[in-house]
Structure 1
Amino acid sequence: MTIDEGRPRLRGPLGTTGRAPAPDLARGFMLLLIALANTPFYLYGRATSEAGFHPVDGSIPDKIVQAVLIIGVDMRVYPMFAFLFGYGLAVIYRRQGENGTPEPDAFRLLQRRNLWLIAFGFVHALLLWGGDVLGAYGLCGLLLVWLFVRRADRTLLIWAGVGTGVLLLLAAFSVVGAHVTLSTGQAAGGGAMPDFVTASASAENPLVAMGARLMLWPFLVLAQGLFGLAVPVAVLLGFWAARRRVLEEPARYRRLLLPVAVAGIAIGWLGGVPHALAHIGVLGGLGEVMWVFSTVQMITGLACGIGYVALFGLIGNRLTDRPPGWVRTAVTAVGKRSLTCYVGQSVLCAPLLAAWGLGLGAVFGSAGMAAFATGVWLVTVAVAVALERRGHPGPLEVLLRRLVYRTPTGAAATVDQPPAR
């Protein structure tokens, strides 16, 4: 422990060695799912479903891709991201306490980090991607750290249960409402999306697209970060799991991780099947009530996202005592630099896909866009591996830690990011 005028210094996050594999693997793979989830937004110039951005037309390969994404990706990735975000905050808070940092200083560190994430998210939305999640998670983190980081484990689980219960009620009311609508024949569609929601991809004028992104971003920060409930619930569960070191010591929690992985993924995938079948036209007669799947997907997506995290905990347990192969090395390299790779996806996607750039979003179908998204992720993998071989963190990780830990310019490069973001 380093002492400065009798006070312990804020300690930076873990280095690249001695890290549990599960969080890095989960974040690295999660970024592939994020690319697959986000890029359909750029398929502008065609009619889309009321429950997402997937086009209602397309070839057979397009329909297959749409169904797979609805079942396994849409609304499933962000709870996974939120859980890992909460896990990382709790790990940082725990390690500051282990280092002897006074609790008020550790608390302010977390809140400073959340504030800077909101700032990063604003710049990200201003320049590239209105669907940014950094601001949403930063705002959620500010509120939940203030309310819950000092609370007991039981309190975390109770409030996570309350949030889950509210989501279940919303889904149930939506299903009842859809049934009434179909039974009575009354139209109750969700209506067209506001123009600013799609204009950031379809606008040819860069300034118009920027204005649309700045209108969309605050809505998502509030709707996804707080009012959507799935993100706060996942963050609270991440707090609890980090206190128990579930992903750092997965062997101890295999009897928890296995049923959570099986049940969570099963609920998520089975729950997405009706939406997928309705979207591709196999399940007919639901055109007037497609909006029902927006709330149903939230609760099934929460279960699936937590299930995905549990699955990577089990994978991490299997890999703990094994030498890392090239696949594990590559995916974990991305996970260690998740902030840089997340924003890097937008750097690669927006200028190529949006109408103000090359406009490839109007050319691709769903299958072509999924291939493009995978290619974008592979580019970030190549960059992350190159940085890993040189022992360098991601540039945005360096910038964030300089701002959060207030390290000198020379020292910042020697401190590595937290085990889960």
Structure 2
Amino acid sequence: MKAARSLRIDTLRGIAVFGIMLVNVWGFAIGNNFSRYGVIGDKAPLLDQLVVFMVAAFAEQKFYPVFAFLFGAGFALQTGGRHFPGPQLDRIKTTYRRRVTWLLGCGVLHGSLLWFGDILTVYAICGFWLLTHAGRRLSGIVAALRRVAALNVAVLVFMACLTYQLMTMPPEAVAWDVDEIARTHALYSEGTLGEIARERLSDYWGNLANSLFFLPKVALLFLMGVLSVRLGWLTRPERHRALWGRVLLAALWVGLPLNLWWGWAALRDAIDPHAGGPMAAFVSFFVEVAGPLMAAGYVALVMRAPQWLMAALARSLAPVGRMALTNYLAQSVLFGFLLQGTGLRLGALLSHAGLVGVCLLLMVAQAGFSRWWMRRHTQGPMEAVWRRFAADA
């Protein structure tokens, strides 16, 4: 049963790696803007419009929650819940602290040198906080979950106020935003090494400052992952099919309609930010909840999938998930080389459909490489470095 359980988790992590690729590609080509997909205009080919709609509706805000959830689950599995009290737990915590410290350094380098949208830095910061919950009783985890949930409600109230401000922006402010989209698109896709580096650093540290409002959501997802392991939802899914069925129904009847609405609003914003921007700002508020709910539906699908389907998916996706960190960092290197001004500059040449085509090709390449590598090694290259750093002195 242990192999089957890890197979589902690895497959789910592999799906998330590729889902995140579909979301991140726009930042490498277009830059760090409120309108993720840039401006395509009302004469954009139908395929480009379909791509924007599909990525917004089914990928954006859906896959980082899966990773955060699995991060928390991994923490619970590594620290053993209440099974390792005393000195043994202290040793585990020391090792885990080194792992998080390494992740923080990796994230800072990744964000500064490759990808301003780096998520590792935020995960590491939140990981230090999560470490304080190692060895706690289940009741303590539930109490912490309630406090973090209340904090998230407060953040949502603040975001509601911010959303109102965005919806009432004067037309000249929207016009400036359109000019900014054009500027960053040209800079990232055609700029020099120095120009791109300066812009990336500015965007990365700006994102870190904004992560103050993002951390509570990550903390909540971490604790949900911990709880899913402690209660067996993730590790013994066959015993909790009814629970995952209810999650799936909630994602279908609540998450799906709201995310389809967001796909439509994001497309309108990409076609004409002047007309579609206010509606996109309004719908984006609901996606803060609907996105993670849809992500929970994806997890439920994997947890409820029959064994024959899991075996078929796992052949290609489980190796990707087993070396998720390596694949995540490799995507940044490849996107920088393929799309930006310091490489082949395809970001200035390709349509939106073309950018997704690049993603699909990279998915095939990473799936093939991951399968080849994991036949010969027990873990990915970056995972091996990470483990070596965190090994007991």
Q: 1:100 to 1:246 in 2, by over 3 A?
A: farther
Q: 1:372 to 1:217 in 2, by over 3 A?
A: same
Which position in structure 1 is the counterpart of 2:144? 156
Q: Give the structure with the larger helix fraction.
A: 2
* Letter aligned with residue 85 of structure 1: F
Deviates more, 1:102-111 or 1:69-78: 102-111
Q: Distance in 2 between matches of 1:205 and 1:130?
A: 17
Which position in structure 2 is the counterpart of 1:116? 102
* RMSD of aligned Cα (Å): 3.3
Shift of 1:87: 1.0
How many residue pairs match? The answer is 383
Asked if 1:304 corresponds to 2:294, the answer is yes
Asked if 1:42 corresponds to 2:32, the answer is no
Q: 1:314 to 1:54 in 2, by over 3 A?
A: farther
Task: Determine which of 220, 227, 251 is the counterpart of 2:238.
Answer: 251
Which position in structure 2 is the counterpart of 1:141? 127
Task: Determine which of 205, 217, 222 is the counterpart of 1:218.
Answer: 205
Shift of 1:386: 0.3
Shift of 1:92: 0.7
Which position in structure 1 is the counterpart of 2:280? 290
Q: Distance in 1 between matches of 2:88 and 2:233?
A: 25
Asked if 1:335 corresponds to 2:321, the answer is yes
User: Are the counterparts in 2 of residues 125 and 131 from structure 1 also a CA contact under 8 Å?
Assistant: yes
TM-score of the pair, normalised by structure 2: 0.85
Secondary structure at the aligned position of 1:248 is classed as: coil
Q: Distance in 1 between matches of 2:241 and 2:384?
A: 34
Cα offsets for 1:125-170 (capped at 9, x unmatched): 2332221111111111112323676362321331343144235434
Q: Distance in 2 between matches of 1:266 and 1:369?
A: 31
Q: Distance in 1 between matches of 2:13 and 2:235?
A: 14
* Letter aligned with residue 220 of structure 1: N
Q: 1:228 to 1:275 in 2, by over 3 A?
A: farther
* Letter aligned with residue 251 of structure 1: E
Q: Distance in 1 between matches of 2:6 and 2:322?
A: 11
User: Are the counterparts in 1 of residues 30 and 189 from structure 2 also a CA contact under 8 Å?
Assistant: yes
Q: Distance in 1 between matches of 2:105 and 2:4?
A: 31
User: Are the counterparts in 2 of residues 54 and 366 from structure 1 also a CA contact under 8 Å?
Assistant: no
Asked if 1:132 corresponds to 2:114, the answer is no
Shift of 1:116: 0.8
* Letter aligned with residue 169 of structure 1: V
User: Are the counterparts in 1 of residues 164 and 282 from structure 2 also a CA contact under 8 Å?
Assistant: no
Q: 1:220 to 1:186 in 2, by over 3 A?
A: closer
User: Are the counterparts in 2 of residues 351 and 358 from structure 1 also a CA contact under 8 Å?
Assistant: yes
| Sequence identity (%) | 25
Cα offsets for 1:230-284 (capped at 9, x unmatched): 2222112112112223211001221211111231354333222333223333999
Shift of 1:299: 1.9
Q: 1:150 to 1:217 in 2, by over 3 A?
A: farther
Task: Determine which of 295, 311, 314 is the counterpart of 2:304.
Answer: 314
Deviates more, 1:324-333 or 1:134-143: 324-333
Q: Distance in 1 between matches of 2:294 and 2:309?
A: 29
User: Are the counterparts in 1 of residues 323 and 370 from structure 2 also a CA contact under 8 Å?
Assistant: yes
User: Are the counterparts in 1 of residues 148 and 216 from structure 2 also a CA contact under 8 Å?
Assistant: no
User: Are the counterparts in 1 of residues 73 and 229 from structure 2 also a CA contact under 8 Å?
Assistant: yes
Q: 1:104 to 1:280 in 2, by over 3 A?
A: same
* Letter aligned with residue 65 of structure 1: V
Q: 1:42 to 1:217 in 2, by over 3 A?
A: closer
User: Are the counterparts in 2 of residues 353 and 359 from structure 1 also a CA contact under 8 Å?
Assistant: yes
TM-score of the pair, normalised by structure 1: 0.80
* Letter aligned with residue 52 of structure 1: R
Task: Determine which of 372, 376, 393 is the counterpart of 2:379.
Answer: 393
Which position in structure 2 is the counterpart of 1:55? 39
Q: Distance in 2 between matches of 1:137 and 1:265?
A: 28
